[in-house]
Structure 1
Amino acid sequence: MIQESLVGISERLMSWCIPLFKSQYGTLISASTPALDSEDTAKDSSYDSLDPTIFSIPHNDKVILLADFNARVGKDNHHWQGSIGCHGVGTMNYNGLRFLSVWLGHSLVITNTSFQLKTKHKANGCTHSLDIGT
């Protein structure tokens, strides 16, 4: 059962449909993008495969994305209303813009920007551990 619902899409992307209860399912997506200093074409390829993966998930499924996108979505929740909560940190980088463009297209929310946490739990030095949309 587990192996049948586990789908490898690329070397950086996989999905797993898991039963939650009765007829409700959750789809877990595990993804990563190339490093920040990688070529844009490599990054574009990662995002290009993520979009149809999310689109293929049945509308009633819960979506859980575990990812390393090397992205900062920042705290501009007015411009990205509905996708970013009011507790983001820092400023958006280019990978954050790419990520939000995909995310907004599917009406999904970056939940870790929705919770008020102490600053020390949001960022560690210059690494924004809760600012990547996972």
Structure 2
Amino acid sequence: MFLTYPAHFYKLKNKDMYFISFPDLGATQGNSIEDSIEMAQDYLGTYLQEYYEKGIEMPVSSGIDGLEINENIEFAEEYDFEKSFTSLVGLDIAEYTKLAKKQTVRRNVSIPMYLNEYAKREKINVSRLITSLLEEKFEEI
């Protein structure tokens, strides 16, 4: 599920830093333009991950049409508005969640005895098999 939200990238005067404001969500910052884009995507993923995991409807994106850099914001004197810009920031929330939650957890499962014996005899890694099947289901979402 690919999502996009508009963000204002405010360039700080005399520094290669940006303050990033999402009109629909909140704010973050970055140390360079590259870092700022990465931080904006990470902020977006972190913010939306809980909505995704719990099946809650995502916040509505206001879109980018008509959005302009606001020169009357707090700390306006610190920003270089000629080098500031508005852009859509997007990410695949399913992929972000998969990468962010890659660590494994221990979970006990109950299976019929004959399947357990079969798995032992055939040297089937049950954890790997379950993980693979669950990943396939996850991709269907």
For this structure pair, what is the TM-score category when the shorter chain's length is used for normalisation? under 0.3
| RCO higher in structure (CA 8 A, sep ≥6) | 2
TM-score (norm 2): 0.24
Flag the structure with higher helix content. 2
TM-score (norm 1): 0.25
Larger Rg: 2
